[in-house]
């Protein structure tokens, strides 16, 4: 049995877009000691594939991080598969706030050095000993305290389109840049309460353990991140202090939390908050583009890319040959956010 996808990605995406089968988007993570990540990876591939799971899953010696979609009719079967894995028996599942079932189109499970790249030595602090969780009620109360420091543990392009009121949103591209910046900025503020949050909880959980290692005692992190907070606030009729969109790492690219538009088109500066990838596949830049600029630049980030994207596909493939088209981020949208 082949334990990886063998069908062309574009074909798989077409199938999902045309499918009428209801699917549910879920994310979950768990920090745990996994002795042989490759064996564990192969095991869950077989069992998850059998119940129709699609998505992106990272496995490492420090645990598992998953963003997936499951056929809604198979949710019970999927939860049974999780419960059969001892350390995932009661794992928290974050259900998407906005979900059209088109979030993923293939199953990819990869073994990584870490499930959250932090640039740190693995043995300097205990990632399984994070700070205390906060529920939506506790978060709302604690963040009313003017002494509380609220930190967005996501990247600049995520917080650009949505963040919590009064949060410090560090201007970084990666989590590994952010950790030392946070420690440095808060060195003289160890007597103040610190609340951390991220998309689903995985980054701020590790960050909270890191702050504890550096002597911070009054540290907390939002349970289940923005996703769980938004769902719980709505279900319980509580104030939602998040404004704008929640950026997500799948085909949707965002979940609308409030109607506030706090970002701007990276090309003309008009208020707008939809991320897109440049239509020039050799570029693939992630940026914010309004409808007018989409029409003007044919969905591209520049006139140069517009010219390339208009070429025949074979010529474009030749230009892409040997080039890295990994994640690249437009940084023009960076702005002065609340600072500590």
pLDDT of residue 337: 47
Structure tokens at 181: 């910046």
User: How many C-beta atoms surround the C-beta of residue 127 within 10 A?
Assistant: 22
Q: Over the stretch 182-206, which tens digit does the pLDDT of each residue have?
A: 999 999 999 999 999 999 999 999 9
Mean pLDDT of the 96-125 span: 90
Q: Are 103 and 249 in contact (CB under 8 A)?
A: no
Instruction: Pick the range with the lowest mean pLDDT from 187-201, 213-227, 294-308, 322-336.
Output: 322-336
Please, what is the end-to-end C-alpha distance for the chain in angstroms?
53
Structure tokens at 79: 């939860």
Residue 124 DSSP class: S
Cα 177-181-183 angle, rounded to 5 deg: 125
Confidence of residue 326 (pLDDT cuts 50, 70, 90): low
On the question of pLDDT at 48 being above 70, the answer is: yes
Q: Over the stretch 64-102, which tens digit does the pLDDT of each residue have?
A: 999 999 999 999 999 999 999 999 999 999 999 999 999
Catalytic residues: 198
What's the CA gap between 52 and 208, in Å, rounded? 34
What's the CA gap between 182 and 168, in Å, rounded? 10
Query: DSSP per residue over 210-245, as a string?
Result: HHHHTT--SEEEETTHHHHHHHHHHHHT----EEEE
What's the CA gap between 58 and 111, in Å, rounded? 6
What's the CA gap between 266 and 232, in Å, rounded? 33
Q: Which of 251, 255, 254, 271 is nearest to 263 (CA)?
A: 271
What's the CA gap between 89 and 212, in Å, rounded? 27
State which H helix or E strand residue 271 sits in.
Answer: none
Q: Over the stretch 119-151, which tens digit does the pLDDT of each residue have?
A: 887 667 888 889 999 999 999 999 999 999 999
Lookup result for tokens 């030595």: 121
pLDDT of residue 120: 83
* Whole-Å CA distances, 303 to 28, 48, 96, 294: 40, 44, 36, 12
Mean pLDDT of the 262-274 span: 96
User: What are the residues whose beta carbons fall under 8 Å from the beta carbon of 15, sequence distance 6 or more?
Assistant: 105
The pTM for the full model equals: 0.89
Cα 41-45-47 angle, rounded to 5 deg: 120
Q: 3-class SS at 67?
A: strand
Mean pLDDT of the 242-262 span: 95
Q: Are 23 and 101 in contact (CB under 8 A)?
A: yes
List domains and CATH numbers for the chain. 9-111 (3.30.70.100), 132-236 (3.40.250.10)
pLDDT of residue 336: 43
Confidence of residue 1 (pLDDT cuts 50, 70, 90): low
- Find the DSSP H helices in the chain: 9-18, 37-50, 75-83, 136-142, 156-159, 175-185, 202-213, 225-236, 291-297, 303-309, 313-320
User: How many C-beta atoms surround the C-beta of residue 174 within 10 A?
Assistant: 13
């Amino acid at each position: 049995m082949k334990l990886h996808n063998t069908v062309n990605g574009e074909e798989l995406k077409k199938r999902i877009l045309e499918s009428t089968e209801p699917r549910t988007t879920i994310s979950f993570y768990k920090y745990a000691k996994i002795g042989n990540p490759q064996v564990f990876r192969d095991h869950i591939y077989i069992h998850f594939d059998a119940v129709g799971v699609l998505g992106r899953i990272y496995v490492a010696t420090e645990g598992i991080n998953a963003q997936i979609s499951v056929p809604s009719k198979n949710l019970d079967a999927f939860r049974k598969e999780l419960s059969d894995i001892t350390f995932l028996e009661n794992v928290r599942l974050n259900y998407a706030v906005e979900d059209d079932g088109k979030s993923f189109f293939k199953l990819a499970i990869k073994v990584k050095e870490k499930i959250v790249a932090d640039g740190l030595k693995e043995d300097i602090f205990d990632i399984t000993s994070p700070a205390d969780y906060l529920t939506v009620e506790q978060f709302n109360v604690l963040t009313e305290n003017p002494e509380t420091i609220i930190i967005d543990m996501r990247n600049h392009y995520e917080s650009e389109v949505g963040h919590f009121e009064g949060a410090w949103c560090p201007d970084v591209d990666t989590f590994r840049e952010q950790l030392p910046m946070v420690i440095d900025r808060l060195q003289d503020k160890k007597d103040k309460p610190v609340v951390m949050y991220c998309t689903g909880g995985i980054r701020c959980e590790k960050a909270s353990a890191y702050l504890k290692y550096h002597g911070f005692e009054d540290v907390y992190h939002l349970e289940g991140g923005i996703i769980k907070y938004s769902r719980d606030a709505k279900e319980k009729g509580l104030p939602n202090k998040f404004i704008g969109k929640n950026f997500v790492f799948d085909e949707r690219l965002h979940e609308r939390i409030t109607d506030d538009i706090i970002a701007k088109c990276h090309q003309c500066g008009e208020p707008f908050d939809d991320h897109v990838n440049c239509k020039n596949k050799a570029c693939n830049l992630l940026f914010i583009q309004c409808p007018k600029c989409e029409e003007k630049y044919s969905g591209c980030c520049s006139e140069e890319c517009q010219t390339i994207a208009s070429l025949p596909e074979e010529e474009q493939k030749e230009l892409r040959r040997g080039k890295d088209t990994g994640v690249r981020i437009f940084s023009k949208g960076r702005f002065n956010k609340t600072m500590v």
